[in-house]
Structure 1
Amino acid sequence: MKKLFISALFLTVTWAAQAQLQPKKMTPESSEVWDPVPRLVTPGAPSSAVSGFTAPSDAIVLFDGKDLDQWESVKGGEAPWTVADNAIITAAGKGGIQTKRDFGDYQLHIEWRSPAEVKGNGQGRGNSGIFMQGRYELQVLDSYDNRTYSNGQAGSIYKQTMPLVNAAKKPGEWQTYDVMYTAPRFNKDGMMLIPPYITVLHNGVLIQNHTAIQGNTDYIGRPTIKPHGRGPIMLQDHGNPTSFRNVWIREL
């Protein structure tokens, strides 16, 4: 009798547990998520001064056409480039500039222009670069009717991954890069567990689609991997008077 009572009790508890696990009847509302509510961001407004839109409300404006207060020389000290006509002009021979702030994951908008007067060819035409965290280069180059190695043309992850297409405008025309970037993750021993990934729109055209960056941008040899933390946005001085404007970033 005692065994029968225990068995009955066990079945009762089991049935109760199973009843609790049974899902309620699903309705269209069952899959609706009401909380949390995405925060409000005001999009940028159309502007005749830039290629498209001004910065959204939650962006950090890195250059607004007025000064280089957000930038410094890669060699240390004040940024040696000049500002004219609401644009940053590369000061050839004075070295690159970088943001004073460091960043990790972000959305970056930047507009650039190669000189209207074409001089040189290949890598010698409108050459510059935008370095993610100061070490991974997104190539800037006049790639309009200008043949060079494919993983060195505009929109390439320099010496690594060529762009999906060539979306370059004519020399002297303003062009845009919209970049979505996630920084690499390293373990405590310096091993890269997750590589940096980059997605790039060039003049509104997808040219890098969640591309894995292989390592530091090295001119000679294979990319190298060195553990690091947050880093600056760096603009390269490659000896050509390339211009930049409307630079903003949204940390993710």
Structure 2
Amino acid sequence: MYKPPIISIKRLVAACAFIVYAATAQKASSQPNRLELQDLSAFQNPGKSWQVVGDVTATLDKENKLNTSGGTGVLVNLPRRKGAGKDVLTTFEHGDVDVELDYMMAKGSNSGIYLQGRYELQLEDSWGKTSRSASNNGGIYERWDTSRPKGQEGYQGYAPRQNAGRAPGLWQHLKISFQAPRFDANGKKIENAKMLRVELNGVPIHENVELFGPTRGAISNEEAANGPLRIQGDHGAVAFKNMVVTHFVKPRLELTDLKYTIYPGRHEKEPFYKDIPPEAEGPSGILTSNLNTEARQFLLRYTGSLIVKEPGEYTFDLTTPGGAGVVRINNEEVVPMKYWNGTGSVKLPAGKVPVEVVYSKYMDWAQPAMALYVSGPDLRKYLISDKEVGLTDVVDPILVDPQEKPILRSFIDIPGGHRVTHAVSVGSPEELHYTYDMDHGSLVQLWRGGFLDATPMWHDRGDGSSRAIGSIQHLGKPTLSIARLASEQAAWATDTTGSAYRQRGYRLNEKEEPTFMYSVYGANVQDAISLLQNGQGIQRHISLQNTTNNLYVRLVEGEKIEEMAKGMYLVDGKSYYVRLDDADGAKPVVRNMAGRQELIIPVREKLTYSILF
């Protein structure tokens, strides 16, 4: 009979301090505070370089240049030259906080977000840079010590995991989850600040990074429980919008007086506990499923107390792979018996309330695993159970290195429930990749960062699919790139019916870049796609033989297409650029179709255009 050791309250608190974020399941019960940006009232004594405007655009060929238009909702910094601007600090201070915003860099520009005015997350125009460092876009900037040897003054900086940044003039989305440093009653620091999670353009670039002290350029090297949000303003033109700040200021719940009991056997529903003898029982300082029981099927029951310092509604999420679980708090069933995942909310008074957690592992193939998360009023979701226990039999991901395998054919799933069954994904060491649909002769998606996760394709029996693992720009539902139109306003073909479309494979050049070949409407098409210098985008060259009249190429479709200069277009709220490089004398048309917009152009023998991303 196994009895786990009594675990100290100190270890329990440390476990409770560990924050687990799931990209698809993160919750925040706190009310977010949106900075409306109708004026500059949210900031302390902003310098003259800071303005509130209605919109901004960048010029790709001019450094430190943003063009503005009247209105509100966008915060912009326009220093006349680098070094001339001034940092801006919010009127509010924060401790634990989530910050979410969109930002735009001018060409060659540099800025940063300082949490508490002390810990900088770097914002930079890193477009075209193929390496990653702490000073690049999304990096956690270095600390600085002038007493260190020359050239080694900077230390404890962290490069982003992936190069997920985008071109100047495009909106980039940033999400930061920050945990402030902790101090005891005497003001001594007992826990370092942390970047719990940082996402750039939908890609995690930092997770659970400990910050041992302020980074270079902090407002103070003395750490504190609170401080203002600070935006660097002396390094170049930058703009922000959709700024949302969520504060987490309330204390966490604490477990105490825990006792466990193990019952052997398969229990798909709760038994009458008095009718069955336990295998083991005793006190425990932590909620864990890691009890080393010999039974492959068992039920584990915890009873104890929950200390609630702040009354309010709390949400409990219980994860029990290979089984089910129940949570009762204050004699109320909050999470009912449910296989794998259960959730529920309850209003709790301040004070000490009884708690009961039941975990029944009745699938003998699964490893014991249980996790209980809590969120509440101004309380970030956190793990209150043992952090050392895995949640399932973890499969090592099968990641494709583009230097070893630059081209992979697989299924690709895209938004809208579409599966591309003849997808060819092409990767590059510059960390810019794309997927081509051979069933329609069309581009499906373009992304920066990692290449492909082929785990669903190759693990176990597999389903034939792979997944892009970077910052993805989807290019719409696959359809023919070339169609015959009776007029410029005729609807685009929804499938290949009547087009005589036939794909003929692809060939590779000396750089292993593919040229796709197919026939459509009697024309023979060669569709060559190459990478622009330093991975700044892709260039597509379409050439036709035996061409017929009234053939058009649809370059792109989206909610909004704006022409910003001759031959240069911004797509979908400044998500990416389309540039006409050689239209062979043809004139492009932006047209409205079924509530969306399309950029089309007639084609006879050739067309070259680029997507800048």
TM-score normalized with structure 1 length? 0.66
Deviation at 1:79, TM superposition (A): 5.0
Q: Return closer, same or farther for 1:148/1:97 CA change in 2, 3 Å cut-off.
A: farther
> What does 1:106-145 correspond to in 2, within 5 Å?
106-115=97-106, 118=107, 125-145=108-128
Q: Return closer, same or farther for 1:94/1:238 CA change in 2, 3 Å cut-off.
A: closer
- The residue that corresponds to 2:140 in the other structure is 157
Distance 1:107 1:180 in 2: 4
- The residue that corresponds to 2:34 in the other structure is 61
Task: State yes or no: 1:83 paired with 2:52.
Answer: yes
- The residue that corresponds to 1:182 in the other structure is 179
- Given residue 95 of structure 2, which amino acid in structure 1 is its aligned partner? G
SS of the residue corresponding to residue 94 of structure 2 reads coil
Question: Which structure 1 segments of 5+ residues have no match?
Answer: 1-55, 119-124
Aligned partners of 2:127 and 2:165 also within 8 Å: yes
Per-residue CA deviation, residues 198-225 of structure 1 (Å, 9 max, x unaligned), is 1100011000111111211126xxxx96
Deviation at 1:59, TM superposition (A): 1.1
SS of the residue corresponding to residue 134 of structure 2 reads helix
Task: State yes or no: 1:213 paired with 2:211.
Answer: yes
Answer with 1 or 2: which has the greater Rg: 2
Distance 2:235 2:216 in 1: 18
Deviation at 1:193, TM superposition (A): 1.5
Aligned partners of 1:95 and 1:237 also within 8 Å: yes
SS of the residue corresponding to residue 232 of structure 1 reads strand
Deviation at 1:143, TM superposition (A): 1.3
Deviation at 1:191, TM superposition (A): 4.1
Per-residue CA deviation, residues 5-45 of structure 1 (Å, 9 max, x unaligned), is xxxxxxxxxxxxxxxxxxxxxxxxxxxxxxxxxxxxxxxxx
Task: State yes or no: 1:104 paired with 2:95.
Answer: yes
- Given residue 139 of structure 2, which amino acid in structure 1 is its aligned partner? S
- The residue that corresponds to 2:357 in the other structure is none
- Given residue 132 of structure 1, which amino acid in structure 2 is its aligned partner? L
Of 163, 166, 175, 1:166 maps to 163
Question: Which structure 2 segments of 5+ residues have no match?
Answer: 1-28, 55-72, 143-156, 249-613
Aligned partners of 2:164 and 2:201 also within 8 Å: yes
Task: State yes or no: 1:243 paired with 2:239.
Answer: yes
Aligned partners of 1:90 and 1:242 also within 8 Å: yes
- Given residue 76 of structure 2, which amino acid in structure 1 is its aligned partner? I
Q: Return closer, same or farther for 1:148/1:188 CA change in 2, 3 Å cut-off.
A: farther
Identity %: 28
Poorly superposed stretches of 4+, deviation over 3 Å: 187-191
Distance 2:40 2:171 in 1: 20
Aligned partners of 1:186 and 1:227 also within 8 Å: no
Higher helix share: 1
- Given residue 67 of structure 1, which amino acid in structure 2 is its aligned partner? D
Aligned partners of 2:138 and 2:205 also within 8 Å: yes
Aligned partners of 2:30 and 2:246 also within 8 Å: no
Deviation at 1:190, TM superposition (A): 5.1
SS of the residue corresponding to residue 233 of structure 1 reads strand
Distance 2:52 2:211 in 1: 32
Deviation at 1:186, TM superposition (A): 2.6
Distance 1:142 1:166 in 2: 12
- Given residue 227 of structure 1, which amino acid in structure 2 is its aligned partner? E
- Given residue 34 of structure 2, which amino acid in structure 1 is its aligned partner? V
Q: Return closer, same or farther for 1:231/1:57 CA change in 2, 3 Å cut-off.
A: closer
Greater RCO, 1 or 2 (C-alpha within 8 Å, sep 6+): 1
Aligned partners of 1:102 and 1:230 also within 8 Å: yes
Deviation at 1:238, TM superposition (A): 2.9
SS of the residue corresponding to residue 99 of structure 1 reads strand
TM-score normalized with structure 2 length? 0.28
Q: Return closer, same or farther for 1:167/1:212 CA change in 2, 3 Å cut-off.
A: same
Per-residue CA deviation, residues 70-120 of structure 1 (Å, 9 max, x unaligned), is 112xxxx345311112311114223111110001001110211012xx3xx
- The residue that corresponds to 1:24 in the other structure is none
- Given residue 224 of structure 2, which amino acid in structure 1 is its aligned partner? H
> What does 1:34-45 correspond to in 2, within 5 Å?
none
- Given residue 127 of structure 1, which amino acid in structure 2 is its aligned partner? N
